[in-house]
Amino acid sequence: MRLMTLRSILIHPDPRLKTLCRPVAAVNDDIQQLADDMLQTMYAAPGIGLAAPQVGVLSRLLVMDCVKDEGATPDPMVLINPEVVWSSEEMSVYEEGCLSIPDQFADVERPVEVRVRWTGLDGAEHTEQFDGLWATCVQHEIDHLNGKLFIDYLKPLKRQMITRRMVKLKRERAREGNGA
C-alpha cells in the first residue's frame, strides 16, 4: 500500500506551464507515485483532468476521469507519453476551465473525436478513441504537456484579461501566506 500525497497545483502565469515536457523514459516507482498523487490531487480539487507540469513535474504524463455523475463508478485513467494519432474533421465547442486558471471559463473549439496512443502504468501500449467530454479533456491535458493552455486559443484581449486576474489572485494568495 502506497501513501498518497496531495501536490500543490501551479497557477498561471508560471514558466513551468509554458514548457515542452520530456517523455517518460520508464514506468518506475516514481512514476507510479506521481500518478497516484496526481489522481488524488485531481479528485480533491475537484477536477476531471490534470497534467504533470501543473504539479511542477515536466514529464509527459496526465491523469483524467470524466465520470461526473453522482454515484457513478469512477474511471481513473493514467496516460504516459500520450499522442493524438487521429483527429476527426468535425469540431465541437466546450466551455473549458483549468485547475491552473481557477474560476475562469471560455469556449474552445476542438476536434469532436480523437484517437490517442499512450503507455499505461502496466508499461503496455494502449490506443483508444475518445469522444464527448473525454475527447475535450484529453486534448486539453495533452496541450499542457506541450506548454499550451486553453486560454492560448482565445483572442489576445480575453487572454490578457484572464492572465491579469491570475496575477492578482497569486498576489493575494502570497499575501495570505498560502504560497503561489
Q: Name residues contacting Ni ion, limited to 75-104 (CB under 5 A).
A: 98
**Residue 159 burial by CB count (10 A; 0-12/13-18/19+): exposed, middle or buried?**
middle
User: How many residues bind to Ni ion according to rule CB under 5 A?
Assistant: 1
Minimum Å gap between C-beta 18 and Ni ion is: 13
* Cβ-proximal residue to Ni ion, closest one: 98
Minimum Å gap between C-beta 100 and Ni ion is: 6
Minimum Å gap between C-beta 1 and Ni ion is: 30
Asked if residue 162 binds Ni ion (CB under 5 A), the reply is no
| Measured distance CA(70)–CA(138) in Å, rounded | 22
Catalytic pick from 89, 141, 172, 176? Answer: 141
* 27 versus 130: smaller Cβ distance to Ni ion: 130
Cell of 127: 490506443
CA distances from 70 to 1, 40, 76, 108 (A): 27, 18, 15, 26
Residue 132 falls in which region: left (phi positive, over 0), alpha (psi -120 to 50) or beta: left
Q: For residue 90, indicate whether it is catalytic.
A: no
Minimum Å gap between C-beta 47 and Ni ion is: 8
Phi, psi for residue 113 in degrees, rounded to 5 = -135, 145
| Measured distance CA(17)–CA(22) in Å, rounded | 13
* 98 versus 106: smaller Cβ distance to Ni ion: 98
* 78 versus 98: smaller Cβ distance to Ni ion: 98
Residue numbers annotated as active site: 141
Interface with Ni ion (CB under 5 A): 98
